Amino acid sequence: MPQDVDFHIPLPGRQSPDHARAEDEQLVWPRSLGLIKSEAAAERHLRGGYADLASRFYPHATGADLDLGVDLMSWFFLFDDLFDGPRGENPEDAKSLTDEVAAALDGPLPASASPIAHGFADIWQRTCEGMSPAWCARSARHWRNFFDGYVDEAESRFRNTPYNSAAQYLAMRRHTIGVQPTVDLAERAGRFEVPHRVFDSAVMSGMHQIAIDVNLMLNDIASLEKEEARGEHNNLVMILQREHGWSKSRSISHIRDEVHARLEQFLLLESCLPKVGEIYRLDADERAALERYRMDAVRTVIRGSYDWHRSSGRYDAEFAHDASSQGYLEELGPSVR
């Protein structure tokens, strides 16, 4: 995150008390699946700080529940890196991989499936443990939207038609940023479920979209230097420059103002949740679940993302270009169809 961009996040930072143990053990799972095979790849992965991210997203989780969050964050970024090369510019190849991974939502994968697909299958199996069928169906829907977004991005690159409208870009990016599946896991990590009849209410939907938008805006500013270096054109800063003819600094300032405006709206929506409980006639346990969701899911994914972006090495200028990065991508490439 550029240090000269002042983002005031009016939410307290939190972190799991079990974060040190989780950080020490974070490489066990990706190594067991063959997703990390070398010391160079391990070092690169550790620089990303994904265990730190999970401990901020799920500060209420410890033990195996936190480990699931750490593994999900590891998987997210391992998967995302696979689209930095030719696959991310070929919609057919992108769809082939996303279809292979998404097949885990429908049942067991064949042994011949790629390690990245088996990794997702393991996460999905653990995610659904103890959760209702309705919750799993809701989360699966969010995952399918996430995978579809990667194909849309590849289509844009393949046709060499960068997004020139912030509105169109946001509609796509809201899926590929992966916030909704991340927020879903907060319920699983905390062993609770938001009442299904209120999940799609106007207030809840508004809170979700703000959390998603704030995350993607923070991410696009944090990744700007890296994406400029590799010739990427689909970044909100660049799109605002093309759409309005603004300078880079004005585009960044606009995004900062948009984040502030959304966070003000978020606090307003939060204040409406007691009324939501009345309208939907939630009982005491359901109101408690809604409050946990506010505190341990939506708030933490906003603040946790901000704190992680400021400390993670993933967005250092040299991250995508150092020798370990190249070896890492070559290492993963042949094992993925």
pLDDT of residue 296: 98
pLDDT of residue 3: 45
- Does residue 288 register a pLDDT over 80? yes
Active site residue 122: no
Active site residue 309: yes
Under 8 Å between Cβ of 242 and 207: no
Count of CA atoms in the C-beta half-sphere (13 A) of 142: 21
Q: Which of 74-88, 158-172, 316-330 has the lowest mean pLDDT?
A: 316-330
Candidate list 31, 77, 158, 287, residue with the active-site label:
77
Active site residue 65: no
Q: What percent of the chain has pLDDT over 70?
A: 92
Candidate list 14, 157, 299, 314, residue with the active-site label:
157
Choose the most confident range, by mean pLDDT, from 11-15, 85-89, 326-330. Answer: 11-15
Candidate list 16, 74, 223, 305, residue with the active-site label:
223
- Does residue 327 register a pLDDT over 50? no
Candidate list 29, 76, 135, 147, residue with the active-site label:
76
Q: What is the CATH number of domain 19-335?
A: 1.10.600.10
Please list, in sequence order, all residues whose beta carbon lies within 8 angstroms of the beta carbon of residue 240, skipping any fewer than 6 positions away: 166, 246, 251, 254, 255
Active site residue 226: yes
The token duo for 246 is 């603004």
pLDDT of residue 221: 94
Nearest Cα residue to 195 out of 257, 282, 267, 127: 282
Q: What is the mean pLDDT of residues 163-167?
A: 92
Q: Which of 2-6, 125-129, 288-292 has the lowest mean pLDDT?
A: 2-6
